[in-house]
Amino acid sequence: MTDAHALPVSYSSEVAAAKANGVPVVALESTIITHGMPYPGNLEMAQSVEEIIRSEGAVPATIAVINGNLHIGLEPSELEALARTSDAMKLSRADLAFAISEGRTGATTVAATMIAAARAGIHVFATGGIGGVHRKAEESFDISADLEELSRTPVIVVSAGAKAILDVPKTLEVLETKGVPVVTLGQDDFPAFWSRSSGFKSPLRLDSAERIAAFQHMRESLGIAGGMLIGNPVPEKDEIPAGEMENYIRQALTNAGEKGIAGKAVTPFLLSDIYYLTEGRSLTTNIALVENNARLAAKIAVALAA
Ligand code: PSU
Ligand code: MN
Instruction: For residue 248, give the CATH number of its domain.
Output: 3.40.1790.10
Query: Which amino acid residue places its CA nearest to atom 1 of ligand 1?
Result: 129
Q: Ligand 1 centroid vs 1 CA: distance in angstroms?
A: 34
Report pLDDT for 8: 96
Q: Which atom of ligand 1 is nearest to the CA of 160?
A: 7
Helix (H, G, I), strand (E, B) or coil at 295: helix
Query: Which amino acid residue places its CA nearest to atom 2 of ligand 1?
Result: 129
Helix (H, G, I), strand (E, B) or coil at 224: coil
Residue 4 located in a structural domain: no
Q: For the CA atoms of the chain, what is the radius of gyration?
A: 18
Q: Ligand 1 centroid vs 90 CA: distance in angstroms?
A: 9
Report pLDDT for 164: 80
Catalytic residue ranges = 29, 163
Residue 213 located in a structural domain: yes
Give the mean pLDDT of 197-207: 97
Cα gap 75→62, rounded to integer Å: 9
Q: What lines the ligand 1 site, CB under 6 Å?
A: 29, 31-32, 36, 92, 109-110, 128-131, 144-146, 163, 193, 264, 267, 271
Residue 246 located in a structural domain: yes
Which ligand minimizes its atom distance to the CA of 115?
Answer: 1
Residue 3 located in a structural domain: no
Q: Amino acid identity of 236?
A: E
Helix (H, G, I), strand (E, B) or coil at 90: strand
Helix (H, G, I), strand (E, B) or coil at 78: helix
Element (H, E) at 69: strand 69-72
Report pLDDT for 54: 98
Residue 229 located in a structural domain: yes
Q: Where are the alpha helices (DSSP H) in the chain?
A: 13-21, 31-34, 41-55, 76-84, 96-101, 110-119, 137-140, 145-152, 168-177, 209-221, 242-259, 266-277, 281-305
CB count, 10 Å around CB of 92? Answer: 23
Contacts of 89 (CB under 8 A, 6+ apart): 65, 95, 99, 104, 105, 106, 107
Q: Ligand 1 centroid vs 295 CA: distance in angstroms?
A: 20
- 86: buried, middle or exposed (CB in 10 Å: 19+, 13-18, 0-12)? exposed
Cα gap 244→192, rounded to integer Å: 12
Helix (H, G, I), strand (E, B) or coil at 187: coil
Residue 211 located in a structural domain: yes
What does each C-alpha distance from 92 to 22, 31, 47 come to in angstroms? 29, 10, 23
Residue 33 located in a structural domain: yes
Q: Read off the pLDDT band of 165 (50, 70, 90).
A: confident
Q: Read off the pLDDT band of 3 (50, 70, 90).
A: low
> What is the overall mean pLDDT for the chain?
95
Look at residue 143 and tell me whether its pLDDT is greater than 50: yes
Look at residue 2 and tell me whether its pLDDT is greater than 50: no
Q: Ligand 1 centroid vs 109 CA: distance in angstroms?
A: 6
Look at residue 125 and tell me whether its pLDDT is greater than 50: yes
Cα gap 178→166, rounded to integer Å: 18
Phi/psi of residue 231, each to 5°? -100, 120
Cα gap 12→98, rounded to integer Å: 22
Query: Which amino acid residue places its CA nearest to atom 8 of ligand 1?
Result: 32
Q: Ligand 1 centroid vs 83 CA: distance in angstroms?
A: 16
Using an 8 Å Cβ cutoff, are 62 and 46 in contact?
A: yes
Which ligand minimizes its atom distance to the CA of 191?
Answer: 1
Residue 2 located in a structural domain: no
What does each C-alpha distance from 140 to 63, 163, 246, 257 come to in angstroms? 30, 18, 21, 11
Task: Report pTM.
Answer: 0.96
Cα gap 179→175, rounded to integer Å: 6
Higher pLDDT, 141 or 5: 141
Give me the percent of the chain exceeding a pLDDT of 90: 92
Query: Which amino acid residue places its CA nearest to atom 11 of ligand 1?
Result: 109
Provide the domain count of the chain: 1
Q: Which atom of ligand 1 is nearest to the CA of 145?
A: 21
The domain in which residue 160 lies consists of 9-305
Give the mean pLDDT of 193-199: 95
